[in-house]
A and B are shown apart, each in its own frame.
Chain A
Amino acid sequence: MKKYNIYLIIKSAIKTTSFMAIISLVFILQSCKKELDVQNPNDPTFGVNVTSESGLADYAKGSTYWNGFTYGNGWLGDSYFSLPWGYHELMGDAIGGGQGSNNQTTTMGVPQKFQADPADASSVFTNPSPQVAIIRSFNTSAASANENNAMKYEWNSMYALIKSCNIMVEQLANVDGLAADKVNAVKAWSYWWKGYAYSQLGSLYYAALVVDKSNTIFSTYVDHNAIITESNKNLNQALTTLKAVSNQTDFNAMITRMTPAQNQVGLGKALTSDQFIRTVNTMLARNIVINKLAPFVNGNPNATIAKASMGVISSADWSAVVALCTAGIKQGDNVFTGRSTAANSFFSATGGTVASLLSISNQTSTYKLSERLVQQFKADDKRRANFSTAKGTFYGDANTNSTRYTLLDGVTENLKGIPILGSRQAGGIEVYIGPTFEENALMLAEAKIRTGAINEGLILIDAVRSYQGAGVAALAGTNLALAPALTELTMERLAALAFRGLSYFDLRRWGWTYSIANGGGRYGSTLLFKNTVFTNATIDYNYMDFWDVPADELDKNPPAAGSAVIKNPNF
């Protein structure tokens, strides 16, 4: 055996060290600690991106529309205007659920009871699974995970919008050199959308939270009236800010940047500060109108509703409405709208709205056009061109969803002179997110009628009908009594404001969605039942007037001491 000698030792040492040197080199080349600093190269950050005018505008644009109206609303259609508003329109009986629908679209809008023919006791339908118990039983976090909790969507969307608004204002401190009226534009935008969000929340939920700051949990629940107060507070802050605007160019430039270009069509162009002020005024009026009872049940303007979660509107309220609406949206004003595009749209052309889910043959459409909605349009109303019986009759589940009508795609039908109610074409319909001229006029009309100036009210109804090209006989000067005037008003509100997220609030405040036992109910309705059309049906909806707080919130954010009641005690 060979001996180890010094030569071998050196040779071995050289081999070892050179080998190790190569390895060490690789270490040094590779293991730079800086290499670990990967961050997330794919997405922007507040620190880098939301520090300039353009960055803030891009944030306002995205976080308002996508966080507020898109994210989380994807299971049926793809936006706030198809899903939460879908539930609104179901309860507002503007639409019915289809046979194939799931997740409470088949249960949300099914009345507790109806009688198709008042003279035939056997024409009674009693719902074995009334709405209140069902939507409550699915108000759990587990059901939410399965998209089975109808109550969560509006809550989640509107708080996402509030978060965005809070951050927009907070982020102003990090943007240098922004012109004063651009700052005002961002602030007004933020206050307005927060006011809007609280209005939606306070009008639907029995209690909710005031969230003044981003990334903070607030646990003191307040009742829906306090949420409307919070909405008004923000809307008034918006007014104050808007009134301070002096440089219209700066203001307009910023509003234009914050508004998605796809919306800036038709009435969706950037609002001037004056137009913005008028929109806010109309919204303040809406807050009063939709959150007070103005019962008009079975033709009785003095009906009373028992066990309602809101008070009756007073003459002082009506005066306030008159004042606000007089300073409200004018015909031709730009308002807050949405438009779909072929792609990358915060709501899609085919599924982003209740109307788009309707505007295909009723044999296949997700939602079904309600006979009661069509009923609001007089036989000679030109706006009826939106509806067709030629696509077959849909025979529903022995409920109120059977219908002879299909909502046509107004763009492919090339409808002229009347508002296109539904379309599946990109940009085909203008979606009114905020209030409109028609709503303002009709609120004013109702206030006038209710406060004795019936003819002034009728003139306003005529104005709306004429604006929408209804082509029906004018009401002004026909000396209608209060009840028939209110009938015209209710018809026109449901007709003119169809699919604008208001029908449920209207049915509720007129007392129709309350149970007949409590003084509510809807009378004289058109109903397709057992293959027969009835025209004097009585419907006893009995829908929960204000929803309980969603379980997703309560599970993770239990009410702090001093919180308001979080579950509607009247149902």
Chain B
Amino acid sequence: MKRLSLFFALLMLSVTTILSQKIITGKVLDETGEALIGANVQAKGTTFGTVTDVEGSYTLTVPTETKFITFTFLGYATTDVPIGSTNVVSTILRSSADILTEVVVTGTGSATSKAKIGISVESIKGDRLSQVAIAGIDQALVGKIPGAQISSVSGNPGDQVNIVLRGINTVQAGTRPMILLDGIEIPFSNLNTLDLTQVERVEVVQGAASASLYGAQGANGVIQIFTKKGTKGTLNINVSTSYANNIYINSGNFGKASLHPYLTDGSGNIVSALASGGFKAGQAITIDPLTGIVPGSGSLAYRYGTNVPGVGSSAPGATENYTRYGILDPRNIADQPYKGSLQYYDHFAQVFQSAPSSNVSLNINGGGDKVDYSFTLANNRNNSALLKDNGYLDRTNLVANIGIELFKNFTLRSITNLVYIDNTMHPNIGAGGGTFYGQGNLNAYVGGVYGFLNTSPFFDLTAKNSDGDYTSYNRASFASVNAFNPFYRLEYTNSDDKRIDIIQNLSANYKVNRFVTLDGRFGLSHRNENAYWTFYNQSLNANTIDQGSWASWYNGSDETGEVDNFQYENTKINFFGSATVKLDFANDLKLGIPLQSTTIGGYDYRNNKYREYDTWGQSLPLNPPINLLSTKQQYAILDYVEPFVTYGFVLDQKFDYSNLFGVGGGFRTDYSSAFGAGSKPFTFPHGNAYLNINSFEFWNGLSKSIPIFRFRAAYGQAGIQPGAFDRYPVITQQPTGNELAYTNQVTSRNPDLDVEVSTEKEIGTDIGVKLFGGNWLKDMNINLTYWERKTDNAIFNQNVPPSTGATKLITNAIGLASNGIQLGIKFTVLTSKNFNWDIITNFGHQSTTITKVNGGDIPLTSFAGSTSLVLTPGAKVGQIFGYKALTSISQARADGSPFIAEAQKANYEIVEGRVVNKATNAIFFSDEASSFGDPNPKLISSIISNMSYKDVISFGFQFDAVTGTHLYNQTNEWMYRDGISSDFAKPVTINGKTAAYSSYYASAYYALGTTSKGVGNNVTKDFFYEDASFVRLRNVTLGFDFSRLVSARWLKKCQLVLSGRNLLTFTNYSGMDPEISSGASNSAFDRGIDHSTIPNLKSYQATLNFSF
């Protein structure tokens, strides 16, 4: 290196000549007249340059023959201004309508103008991120990145969004992209723990071609967040406070039927069918005040069945009215209101509450000559909207960003993020905790939602029994058997979940000379979380004792409660050191060709360590203190450590020929601990090129109307690591009673496992069009990218013959191929002195197909339980398989034989598009499973509009639209079991008669083929597979800055912002929220299922921003 720098130094000497000079002065302002501090000022075609000071002024010595001064500033259009006779050159920089003038870092290695890169890099400035109530960066990114599918899949505070950037490239590792914070990798789960107000800008590289720089882990793309720096020279104090009210979305008016088909007496009271549970036959049913149940298994009954006294015994339903299958009797109609002792309760209103959230932040920033600083203290609190007293998620961020120029051209920057998160929500309804929760791949468990959904509506969830307790299991004979009251959880459980994250980033940047820049970055992120759950002793609850139903996590043995302690520790160390050498062949080497060379060599080291230690104690006393010591027995559940080390080198060489074209390429090579010490490194090549057609002379004529026209193309590979231990076969340490034993792994590990390699090609074009002169619709920028990628060796658990004693083997089983298109169009609608308006539209489509599965199809279950998925060649990833209703009476089976024999056809008709038996009202579902089709949205799009008047009034909105997407409404299917879904009260016309036939709807749950029940129970049927396309008013914002109305100079900003999020949703989806998904967080395949999920929130927010 020493020799290298000597060489460069000599090189510099050789090109240095003594020139006559002149001094230029001037000032740089923005469109509002504010001074721009730190703008780059350069004598065009030379290396003479400086930056503007705190007044926006500069002084620059330039060679006398210099004709132009070039002004550049991030986010503003680069401007060349001719030097006049006065030697005073001032300018107003226009904020960049043409995003190609933006400078990006991610995926390129060094700051590069978008006009000179061959890959697509999306960037968004912090002030363009939506200020959402939840104050998470991930939520704020929804809709902002063209092509990216970012979905807000849950309304539970703290839950992560699902991000699919470019296709499914791995099945095992999910779709989570890599997250960088100021150049240093941090865990994905930190994306929503960072303070949104501190984001300067976000850059996203979506594919392997651009993420190749990040090597063996970058295949899912990279999101890089840059935090705000202090402004040199001024002291700024920013205070922001906001308050929001959040309400659950229920765009499908989802709920429970208020009409019922049960057996009633003349007054409409629901009566007992038999002498059962203490009721006489015909006696009105009541809820036992102590146990909270409807006793007796012969009490509750449907009006009809085969055993109704006086009706006869050979009814078409062939079942008894006091069993759950009585619902299938075609005479039952849900047309009776609940009366007397059994009233209707709106459980959704009882459980889903409106909840407040608040944000407060204080930022102080400034700087001197050599130092800049920014300190932020922010707090965000979101109350759970699931049950009124469920608790909250409270996050405090302390951020310090300090930059120091130690000596000339050597800057040191330290960015510290301290995050403290306090989650007080209760276990099973939002509390953090559980095995491997600390790895950040799991959302908080909300399985407790299911129980209330499946409680019969004649139970009052908020009612306490005669002992003054909530009851857990509100069962009524055959109905409500999947009930569990969430209010019971409030009474008998508690969670204390505290998390501290420290993210420290120290970087040094040394511009050795104008050729060589050295950069070293060291980052450390550490997450420490402790969740402490208490399940109190429930043995005094009459319902618990009577029904044997209690709240628990580990203690399945009895109702005496437990204490669970989950301790997580996650440390990530990342060092990246690089040297960048820039060489201009024309100026530096005097070679006479306008060629610039950029060489980057880097070394990247990452070390992750995850540790988890879980313990629990069984059986708590009835009296305090309630802690681990007071439990009867204690157990260690998990003592786990997962180290992962990888390091590698990156080399990237790029040549730019003037502004006309450029080519670049390089490789990255990585070692990984998943492969052990003896392994060879993996090498991933990349290359890209661009061609700026608008820079050629022949374009001059067109440049007035189409100033930008360029092509770019890129190719790259990036890898995805197998799990840390997937290649190491072990036996399992299995606690057995009070002893230890060893067992065989049921899923065998595979020492031959290879890294997953994703290969991508992308081509794109950027077009800038001048539309009209004047202020209106001045210009339009189009960025279009088409990409294709494939992974030949995605890792997954392939089934093996069970006779081998194992059921699965981790192997490179799956081939995947994806393609997609992304399009961003920005319109400058209006630019005038006082009024600015722009509209950004983003579009994307992507789809992933399974090209091969080594070893045969892989059937798997989704997170949603009974919904089947199969990984099979030719199918889309995430495709749901199930049984479709016949749509034609003459429909044939796969073998050509008809489903319905000729003689039987008269018994069927088409009802709501499906074949229905006119006698039994049952929908005829094919018993031949088939795919429900492509689960991927056909198009995802967003329209984002921003208007401002004199910087006093601002108004913006964002509409997101997802079309052609589907959800499997498993929530509803479960509610079909007892016929409590509100669908059951909807009349339907069968055989000429219109009524709310229970048997019609219930058949969608129970029937399959010609069998009315049993085989069909809750299996996957297309009846519940719904179009979940939607248009959503994601944000609407109205801001007013009062500081312009007062003359206080010290007040820079006094802004009131009224905003709303998710206020409107247009959809045909019948569930609560078409955007949610209950699958595992960021799962590759487990998407598109709505199973007892918490819907997103509709928020009304008021924010006050002050700047001094």
Contact = CB atoms under 8 A, between A and B. Distances in A.
A298 B274 CA distance: 34
Interface stretch (B80-88, B855-863, B933-941): B855-863
Nearest to A349: B557
A19 B859 contact: no
B5 A12 contact: yes
B300 to A, nearest CB: 11
A558 to B, nearest CB: 10
A342 B557 contact: yes
A304 interface: no
A1 B23 CA distance: 12
A318 to B, nearest CB: 33
B881 interface: yes
Contacts of B306: 398
A215 B799 contact: no
A299 to B, nearest CB: 31
A314 interface: no
B1066 to A, nearest CB: 34
Given A159-B804, A342-B557, A260 B1015 contact: no
Interface stretch (B216-224, B291-299, B1097-1105): B291-299
Interface stretch (B199-207, B733-741, B992-1000, B1038-1046): B733-741
Contact of A12 (B298, B512, B807): B512
Interface string A85-111: 000000000000001101000110010
Interface in B965-984: none
B802 A553 contact: yes
B63 to A, nearest CB: 9
A128 B318 contact: yes
Given A40-B728, A122-B313, A394-B297, A146 B577 contact: no
A254 B1098 CA distance: 66
A62 B734 CA distance: 7
Contact of B729 (A33, A45, A261, A530): A45
Given A17-B2, A363-B295, A61 B741 contact: yes
B5 A17 contact: yes
Nearest to A530: B307
A39 B731 contact: no
Contacts, number: 352
Given A531-B274, A531-B307, A102 B318 contact: no
B802 A20 contact: no
B297 A36 contact: no
B233 interface: no
Contact of A23 (B520, B672, B733): B520
B320 A4 contact: no
B803 A38 contact: no
A236 to B, nearest CB: 22
A395 B298 contact: yes
Interface string A39-80: 111111110011000010011011101110001100000000
B9 interface: yes
A261 B739 contact: yes
A378 B507 CA distance: 85
Interface core residue of A152, A161, A550, A552 (most chain B CB under 10 Å)? A552
B731 A45 contact: yes
A311 interface: no
Contact of A59 (B320, B603, B741, B1012): B741
A398 B325 contact: yes
B18 A1 contact: yes
Contacts of B64: none
B586 interface: no
Interface string B693-732: 0000000000000000000000000000000110011111
Interface stretch (B255-263, B592-600, B636-644): B636-644
B12 A4 contact: yes
A346 B806 CA distance: 18
Nearest to B865: A146
Contacts of A49: 731, 742
Contact of A22 (B277, B323, B520, B881): B520
A209 B324 contact: no
Given A162-B805, A393-B276, A62 B742 contact: yes
Contacts of B806: 160, 163
Contacts of A38: 643-645, 673, 676, 724
Interface in B649-683: 671-673, 675-677, 679
Interface core residue of B298, B510, B679, B742 (most chain A CB under 10 Å)? B742
B645 A8 contact: no
B323 A395 contact: yes
A58 B5 contact: no
A568 interface: no
B1011 A557 contact: no
A203 interface: no
Interface residues of B, number: 128
Given A128-B318, A344-B737, A156 B802 contact: yes
Given A44-B730, A393-B297, A23 B603 contact: yes
A255 to B, nearest CB: 15
Contact of A36 (B478, B677, B740): B677
B1014 A215 contact: no
Interface in A110-140: 110, 122, 128-129, 134, 137-138, 140
Contacts of B633: 342-343
Interface stretch (A24-32, A325-333, A442-450, A470-478): A24-32
Nearest to A263: B737
A260 B803 contact: no
Contacts of A67: 743-744, 746, 805
Contact of A129 (B865, B881, B1011): B1011
Given A39-B676, A145-B859, A397-B324, A1 B21 contact: yes
Interface string B862-875: 00011010100000
Given A152-B802, A262-B736, A397-B323, A19 B518 contact: yes
A37 interface: yes
Contacts of B508: 19
Contacts of B546: 361
Contacts of A363: 295-297
Contacts of B679: 36
Contacts of A63: 731, 741-744
A350 interface: yes
Interface string A330-369: 0000000000011111101111000000001111100000
Contact of A163 (B13, B635, B744, B1015): B744
Contacts of B481: 99-100
A36 B677 CA distance: 5
Contacts of A46: 731
B1018 interface: yes
Given A41-B641, A162-B805, A214-B805, A142 B859 contact: yes
A30 B647 contact: yes
A1 B48 CA distance: 10
Contacts of B296: 363, 392
Nearest to B13: A4
A188 B746 CA distance: 25
A141 B801 contact: no
Nearest to B555: A343
B801 A553 contact: yes
Given A66-B741, A146-B866, A26 B1018 contact: no
Interface core residue of B642, B671, B730, B860 (most chain A CB under 10 Å)? B730
Contacts of B549: 364
Nearest to B319: A398
B575 A30 contact: yes
Given A23-B603, A71-B746, A102-B866, 10 more contacts: A26-B577, A30-B575, A44-B730, A107-B1015, A164-B805, A262-B737, A344-B738, A349-B557, A362-B297, A393-B298
11 contacts: A17-B1, A23-B520, A38-B645, A43-B730, A43-B732, A65-B741, A99-B323, A261-B737, A342-B633, A393-B297, A424-B558
In the complex, the 6 A-B pairs of residues with the closest C-beta atoms, listed nearest first: A163-B805, A62-B741, A557-B801, A37-B677, A262-B737, A145-B859
